[in-house]
Amino acid sequence: MKNNKRQPKLIEALIPIIFLIILLSFNVLFWDDTLQGSNQVALMSAATLAGIFGLRMGISWTEMRAQIVKTIGSAMPAILILLLIGALAGTWLISGVVPALIYYGLKILHPKIFLFAAVVIAGIVSLATGSSWSTIATIGVALLGIGDAMGFNKAIVAGAIVSGAYFGDKMSPLSDTTNLAPAMAGTDLFTHIRYMMFTTVPSMTLTLIIFLIIGFNFETASTDIHGEAVQTAILNTFNISPWLFLVPVILFIVILKKMPPLPALGVGVLLGAVAAIIFQPQVITNLSHVSSNYAKASYITVMESMYGSTSINTGVESINDLFSTGGMTGMLQTIWLILSAMIFGGIMEANGMLRKITTSVLKLVKSDGSLITSTAISCVFFNITASDQYISIVVPGEMYKEAFKDRGLKPEVLSRTLEDSGTVTSVLIPWNTGGATQARVLGVPTIAYLPYAFFNIISPLMTVLFAYLNIKIRRFKDDNK
């Protein structure tokens, strides 16, 4: 057969995206929880429209399907991690690990500095482990519970946790994205990290100041009473012991030893299960409704906490939501969303539509500032359309590498831009793997915490500001001075 393939026109590349934005806007208007299915259908509908354009351009369904499979394959680690996070949330709840973290956190943290402390704690843990996902799924869940018990809006607390976790992820030499960005740009890891500090430190400083202001203006009239009620309920329901901290400590040691995320989270799940059997016999008996055989009760409760919903009644109705999880089953809607997003991104990539849009943007570049701004916008664009933070680093990195070199900009300028704009904004997109995962793990919709994820919002703006003000923009010609 004659090959009649052609490249997409710009308008053809834009129509599926415009169509998707319209559908997503309607979803926000008509549904409180768009994760239930409306966003998934919107993404698949937009993918269908993109596929029709692809067929008209001579792209076969087989080619589009191959790219879809490849794109979904790249998301499989995230999907598997998501399932293990669901299991970990279940075993860490029934073991008393999360309740213990909340209990002692309420004793130590004062409401005025809580949001500031949440950013710092999440940042330190993420910096040490190199994983924002593991940080949010473990210490982040506990911090959210502490903030909720203090009376803070969950969205604000989630924004603080996300800000800290992605700061650590972005700056840690153990992070995969921190290694990926310099690899794509052509610089080394530690040059990249040192250069990122020029934009990252101001961004984090502003974030901490904002959360301090919010914290010091937080009304604490009834906070102490509510906090005491939560602590009493925890003590009446769980056996709280400092020994429970061995579970997160061992997990963090395992991660620091550079064990990959999947087996590391698996270790966390098993540690939680063992701790539950040892420390929480009353919880296990009550949840299983089996009193005569503890081995059977343990098996039933641990297994159900991993795969299904678990709710522990503390006797205080207002805080029972703190002690409930959905297990692996609770993650299935998020996985459905990720698969739908990968289908859309795969078809757009197979048809050359994403590349057409970014090359069109490149034609508008007239200065160093506009080049860096275009790169930042492209990273956000790929987070929205391809729905994966790795694609948002790899594709713009490939496309703009020569343009940066032609303008005499050193590769660390590109690598910093990729991280400032790609890594941190993935968590702000509801259907991106980052945004969908953290919304499900924290139980707070992406759109709700987005306005409070100050670090993630400020970072790309800071890199653009530095570009236009010509602050710390390294050029090859500077080496010859």
Q: Which domain holds residue 119?
A: 77-329
In a domain, 222, yes or no: yes
**Greater pLDDT, 480 or 21:** 21
Enter the pTM of the model: 0.74
Phi-psi region of 447 (alpha: psi -120 to 50; beta: other; left: phi over 0): alpha
Residue 85 confidence (pLDDT): 82
DSSP string, 267-278: HHHHHHHHHHHH
Place 1 in a pLDDT band, splitting at 50, 70 and 90.
Answer: very low
> Are 139 and 256 found together in one domain?
yes
> Are 438 and 345 found together in one domain?
yes
Instruction: Kindly state the average pLDDT of the residues 90-103.
Output: 88
By percentage, how much of the chain surpasses pLDDT 70? Answer: 95
How many domains does the chain fold into? 2
Torsion on CA atoms 344, 350, 356, 362, rounded to nearest 10: 90
Place 227 in a pLDDT band, splitting at 50, 70 and 90.
Answer: low
Q: Give residue-wise pLDDT tens across range 156-188.
A: 999 999 999 999 889 887 677 888 888 878 888
Distance CA 102, CA 230 (A): 9
Place 480 in a pLDDT band, splitting at 50, 70 and 90.
Answer: low
Place 308 in a pLDDT band, splitting at 50, 70 and 90.
Answer: very high
Residue 223 confidence (pLDDT): 53
Distance CA 234, CA 249 (A): 21
> Are 97 and 22 found together in one domain?
no
Domain boundary among 311, 329, 347: 329
Mean pLDDT for the chain?
86
What is each CA distance from 139 to 133, 159, 380, 402, 441, in whole angstroms?
10, 14, 27, 41, 12
> Are 253 and 201 found together in one domain?
yes
The total of other beta-carbon atoms located within 10 Å of residue 349's CB is 22
Q: Give residue-wise pLDDT tens across range 311-365.
A: 888 777 766 777 888 889 988 887 887 788 788 888 988 999 878 887 787 777 7
Residue 226 confidence (pLDDT): 59
> Are 69 and 90 found together in one domain?
no
Whether pLDDT at 452 is above 60:
yes
Residue 231 confidence (pLDDT): 81
Lowest mean pLDDT among 251-260, 371-380, 466-475: 251-260
Distance CA 113, CA 193 (A): 29
> Are 297 and 372 found together in one domain?
no
Residue 264 confidence (pLDDT): 86
Place 30 in a pLDDT band, splitting at 50, 70 and 90.
Answer: confident
Residue 409: strand, helix, or coil: strand
Residue 287 confidence (pLDDT): 92
> Are 64 and 109 found together in one domain?
no
Residue 420 confidence (pLDDT): 92
Domain boundary among 329, 360, 394: 329
Nearest one of 258, 347, 465 to 70, comparing CA atoms = 347
